[in-house]
Structure 1
């Protein structure tokens, strides 16, 4: 016997899967990506547990799917920037597709970490990590005090620690 939640999910999927796939296919212009994101949307809904009380299932599905589309576009932008940066440095894509995917995933995680932080905190972190600048050099570049740079770095580290727990 299936539980009420399994039945509710099954009905939601049966009633709206084709519709959502069509919406995403039009938005993305790619049937395969649309199918992947439709699948991912329903996986997120399945994990949500509030599914039985949905008053507007299509609005809910659209909201979840929209978040996934934005994440996809953001990831694609980061991947393009990574490839462009390699080309600017005169490098070509070396390594396996898995290694490139891991590099892009690391960039996505850094992007997510920095998202929501004040812009100067994000810039300070990137200057320290990517450019190897000292706090004094960062302070001069940002037009703030060394103490403020320490505060920015503490914000980043705090967010990093909270994220890893």
Structure 2
């Protein structure tokens, strides 16, 4: 039996044994069976793209939970982002119009920014966005967030470091 055949047999066995369980696990967290099916498939696709033998995974359910959990988190984050984007578009004056392509590009850009800042705590993200997007001074941000100026300086420095690391890790 070739290595590829052994991998396929191992993958099929793992899929047969854990697929329904994983769909139920995801459905309990997302409250959507259809979405759970999609996320379970995405989880197994990640496994299928893994080059090692499936028999090497000591705890398949733990591995599946970790990958599926990350996908659920990404899915929730994307839905929140899309919802906020729709609210933003609805609040725009009618004279400002984005084409479907521009809307798609803007949404992708927002998703990239969200991924870029995913390692930050909410207050750090908020401070960074207030400075970079709203153009507020560190002092104004400190006042609005009711924290010290030195805290804002640290938050911005950490956010900039995250951006730098993200840029050079791709």
TM-score (normalised: structure 2)? 0.73
Measured against aligned partners, the alpha-carbon deviations of 1:83-109 in whole angstroms (never above 9, x if no partner) come to 11222233587322x543332232223
* Segment of structure 1 superposing worse, 80-89 or 10-19: 10-19
The within-5 A match list for 1:28-107 is 28-31=31-34, 33-48=35-50, 49=52, 51-90=54-93, 94-96=98-100, 98-107=101-110
Q: CA RMSD in A?
A: 3.0
- Are residues 36 and 135 of structure 1, via their aligned partners in 2, closer, same or farther at CA, if it must alter by over 3 Å? same
Match of 1:10 among 5, 9, 12: 12
Post-superposition CA distance 1:57-91 (Å, at most 9, x none): 33432332232122112211110011112222335
Aligned to 2:116: 113
TM-score (norm 1): 0.75
Q: Runs of 5+ in structure 1 lacking a partner? A: none
Report the secondary structure of 1:138's partner residue: helix
Query: Do the aligned residues in 2 keep the contact of 1:17 with 1:38 (CA within 8 Å)?
Result: yes
Q: Does 1:144 align with 2:148?
A: yes
**Correspondent of 2:161 among 140, 158, 163:** 158
Deviates more, 1:38-47 or 1:107-116: 107-116
Residue 138 of structure 2 contacts residue 153 of structure 2 at CA under 8 Å; is this kept in 1?
yes
Equivalences, count: 162
Gaps of 5+ in 2: none
For 1:117 and 1:23, locate their aligned partners in 2 and report how far apart those are by CA, in whole Å.
28
Kept after mapping to 2: 8 A contact 1:83/1:93 = no
Q: 2:131 aligns with which of 128, 132, 138?
A: 128
The answer to whether the 8 Å contact 2:119/2:162 transfers is no
Counterpart secondary structure, 2:2 = coil
